Amino acid sequence: MVKVRIKLRLSSVPGKAGTVFYRLSHQKVVKQINTSIHLLPEVWNVGGERLRDDAIQEDPRLPAVQRLIDNDIALIWQIIQSYEIQKKKFTLQHVVDAFRISQGSGKVLAFMQHLIDELFSKGSRGTARNYQCTLASFSTFLNEKDIPFSLLNEPLIQEYADWLEKRGVLRNSSSFYMRNLRSMYNKAVRKQGIRQLHPFQNVYTGIDKTRKRAVSEELIARLLGLELSDSPRLAFARDLFIFSYCTRGMSFVDMAYLHKTDIKNGYICYARRKTNQQLLVRVEGCVQRIIDSYTERTRNSPYVFPILHSVDDKEAYSQYQTGLRYYNKCLKEIAALLGDGITLTSYTPRHSWASIARSHHVSVSIISEGMGHASEKTTQIYLAALDNSLIDNANSEIVISLERWKDENGKL
């Protein structure tokens, strides 16, 4: 009878992660399947041949790692059982080869999820989340039905592009999905021998320049003083807009996923979902008032705002998408109330904070640090030594200035 064991090969370098491998044995023959999973010895249960339960609970990356291992072992046993059911003679090398072929000739959505789990296990959460967004969109396009890579061809990709356009997805957003899908497809070609069909050669994968989305400090003060007591939904959208502006342009996705546990000792500490960069934002008075006003509505929820209602990844993402569309719809109505041809979107608070901070003579380096920008290496090196209090003081100045505008002009 074939035996399958899960082992962790320790590194020869102290303190470095070891490598998980699968050991197959049968009639004194031993074969080994190496993986790209690397773990520290302290999180591994040697006797149980799995991750320690307490480690899984403490580290949010580890459930994906365990799921990856479980899926691999299930596939190995499925291959063995298929040989046994068909009463075919087989060797362990047959099993190893079939395992590798099965991974290489798998289906698209399953492979995408495999990549995402692998990225989460390695701590590459930013890329993993980008891939997750793309998987959710492409899976919806396919009506949740997986397909083999042989069907991921140019006509299908063009059909997907047309589907995105009909749903009102902007060109840059469509390009975001296409770039991620192309990246995952190329990984399948490179790593697992999928035939390269060049399906993305006729769809747009560039980035268009977008028009400026910032508005003036005076307009934000008018928005703050706008009478919306008769419309709770517009008031909520306004509160989210002001909260975003007063937290250095926190994005809608980060507000939606913001947990109550992210707020401690007068600070919001969160990781940007786009880049996984940690940000620390001091809670100003107006921010605390907005948080307090939704405490009752979110009493039984882990989230700060009543945007998401599920902790399940797929359901939460669907709720986030719905919430974003509704938020932008409400902002459009608010813009109409303000008049003067104003345009407000979920991006406006972030762009406005940067623009207004600059008008208050806040240095570009502090603005970049405050918003979590880290695209230039020289800027990253310089900003690494910045005291967070400089950023907090800059934000306080902007918030105080906004409240002064409101006090001087009253409710407009």
Which residue, of 104, 132, 148, is where some domain finishes? 104
pLDDT of residue 412: 39
* Alpha carbon distance, N-terminus to C-terminus of the chain: 80
| Cβ partners under 8 Å of residue 202, min gap 6 | 154, 158
The phi and psi torsions of 251 (rounded to 5 degrees) equal: -75, 160
Q: Residue 306 has which token pair?
A: 């009543």
Q: Which of 263, 243, 234 is nearest to 335 (CA)?
A: 234
One-letter amino acid at 258 equals L
CATH of the domain at 270: 1.10.443.10
Domain assignment present for 185: yes
The pLDDT tens digits of the residues spanning 77-89 come to 988 988 888 777 8
State which residues of the chain have pLDDT below 50. Answer: 375-387, 412
The pLDDT tens digits of the residues spanning 26-66 come to 888 999 998 888 999 999 999 999 999 999 998 888 998 99
Domain assignment present for 380: yes
Which residue, of 104, 122, 147, is where some domain finishes? 104
**Alpha-carbon span 410 to 226, nearest angstrom:** 10
Domain assignment present for 272: yes
Q: Are residues 15 and 100 in the same domain?
A: yes
Q: Are residues 403 and 298 in the same domain?
A: yes
Place of tokens 């882990």: 302
Q: Residue 365 has which token pair?
A: 């380096």
Q: Are residues 93 and 14 in the same domain?
A: yes
Domain assignment present for 198: no
pTM, entire model: 0.54
The pLDDT tens digits of the residues spanning 308-366 come to 999 887 788 889 989 999 999 999 999 999 998 889 999 899 888 888 887 787 777 77
Residue 117: give the domain boundaries: 110-192
Q: Are residues 84 and 170 in the same domain?
A: no
Q: Which of 82, 92, 102 is nearest to 32 (CA)?
A: 92
Q: Are residues 324 and 400 in the same domain?
A: yes
The phi and psi torsions of 39 (rounded to 5 degrees) equal: -135, 150
Q: Residue 222 has which token pair?
A: 């008018």
Which residue, of 65, 82, 104, is where some domain finishes? 104
Domain assignment present for 207: no
Q: How many domains are contained in the chain? A: 3
Question: 153 vs 131, 143, 150, 157, 203, CA distance in Å?
Answer: 19, 17, 7, 6, 12
Q: Are residues 8 and 88 in the same domain?
A: yes
Q: How many other C-beta atoms lie within 10 A of the C-beta of residue 10? A: 14
CB-count burial class (<10 Å; 0-12, 13-18, 19+) for 119: buried
Domain assignment present for 389: yes
**Alpha-carbon span 135 to 110, nearest angstrom:** 10
Domain assignment present for 197: no
One-letter amino acid at 263 equals I
pLDDT of residue 209: 57
Q: Are residues 268 and 354 in the same domain?
A: yes
pLDDT of residue 247: 95
Asked if 123 and 39 touch (Cβ cutoff 8 Å), the reply is no
Q: Are residues 225 and 312 in the same domain?
A: yes
Q: Are residues 255 and 319 in the same domain?
A: yes
pLDDT of residue 384: 37
pLDDT of residue 134: 93
Q: H/E/C letters for each residue in 16-73?
A: CCEEEEEEEEECCEEEEEEEEEEECHHHEECCCCEECHHHHHHCCCHHHHHHHHHHHH
Domain assignment present for 199: no
Q: Are residues 246 and 150 in the same domain?
A: no
Cβ-defined contacts of 50-57 (< 8 Å, 24+):
50/6
The phi and psi torsions of 64 (rounded to 5 degrees) equal: -65, -35
Q: Residue 226 has which token pair?
A: 């706008």
pLDDT of residue 25: 94
**Alpha-carbon span 393 to 395, nearest angstrom:** 5
Q: Are residues 81 and 132 in the same domain?
A: no
| Cβ partners under 8 Å of residue 208, min gap 6 | 171, 172, 175
**Alpha-carbon span 276 to 210, nearest angstrom:** 24
CATH of the domain at 135: 1.10.150
Query: 273 in helix, strand or coil?
Result: coil
Cβ-defined contacts of 349-352 (< 8 Å, 24+):
349/241, 349/242, 349/244, 349/245, 349/249, 349/250, 350/244, 350/249, 350/250, 350/251, 351/212, 351/213, 351/214, 351/249, 352/213, 352/214, 352/215, 352/216, 352/217, 352/220, 352/245, 352/249
**Alpha-carbon span 270 to 288, nearest angstrom:** 16
Query: 270 in helix, strand or coil?
Result: strand
Q: Which of 188, 30, 163, 50 is nearest to 107 (CA)?
A: 188
**Alpha-carbon span 137 to 132, nearest angstrom:** 9
- What b-and-e string marks burial along 60-96, b requiring 16 or more CB atoms within 10 Å of the CB? ebbebbbebbeebbeebeebbeebeeeeeebebeebb
Q: Are residues 82 and 120 in the same domain?
A: no
